[in-house]
Amino acid sequence: MKKLLNKNYIVRVIFLLAVIVSLVIGIFYFLQYQKTQKLLKNPTQTTQTEAESLINKVGQIIELPKDEPPTIATVSDINKLKDQAFFARAQNGFKVLIYSKAKKAILYDPTAHKIIEVATLNMNQPDVAQTTPMPISPSISPPTTTITAPTLILTPIPVQ
């Protein structure tokens, strides 16, 4: 009789644990769903949050200009950028922080959390017929702003 009582007790404990684990998993996925729905309803907030996170991470490594927000771009096709010295060690997915007033560009590897290159900017006004879009996709800049290869001349600065 004691064995039967002991088996029933073990079965009940296992069942109770299974119910508790199922509830915890269900609550976790429900909260994830709610978070995703909130982000889908407000993509601007998501972009802003990602930008602030990126700026904070890069700011831990190097002193960033405080008087202006950067234009943030993502390298999307490195093959089109290989001829530029600034992008020599870049890979798809790397981030570029461009500070127009400070005339500074920073190439950042978000996976390794490293700054790959820093350069000064020389902003030239090219002929409209010569402009070709750079294969970097802006993350924060206004929709009408595009970065074009002839307007962005990057001069590498040795990182110490």
- Structure tokens of 46? 């998501």
Task: Give the model's pLDDT for residue 144.
Answer: 35
pLDDT in tens, 25-63: 999 999 999 988 887 888 777 788 888 999 999 999 999
The top-scoring range by mean pLDDT among 2-16, 17-31, 81-95 is 17-31
What backbone phi and psi angles, to 5 degrees, belong to 88? -60, -40
Asked if 152 and 104 touch (Cβ cutoff 8 Å), the reply is no
Q: Report the distance separating Cα 15 and Cα 18, nearest Å.
A: 5
Amino acid at 115: I
**Model pLDDT, residue 50:** 86
* pLDDT at residue 136, rounded to an integer: 52
Each residue of 98-124: pLDDT tens digit?
Answer: 998 989 999 999 999 999 999 988 766
Residue 132: is its pLDDT beyond 60?
A: no
Decide: pTM greater than 0.75. no
Q: How does residue 129 score in pLDDT terms, banded at 50, 70 and 90? A: very low
Could you give the strand order of the β-sheet that contains 136-138, starting from the edge strand earlier in sequence?
136-138, 71-75, 95-99, 104-109, 114-123, 152-157
**DSSP per position, 140-157:** SS-TT---BGGGEEEEEE
The values of phi and psi at residue 104, to 5°, are -135, 140
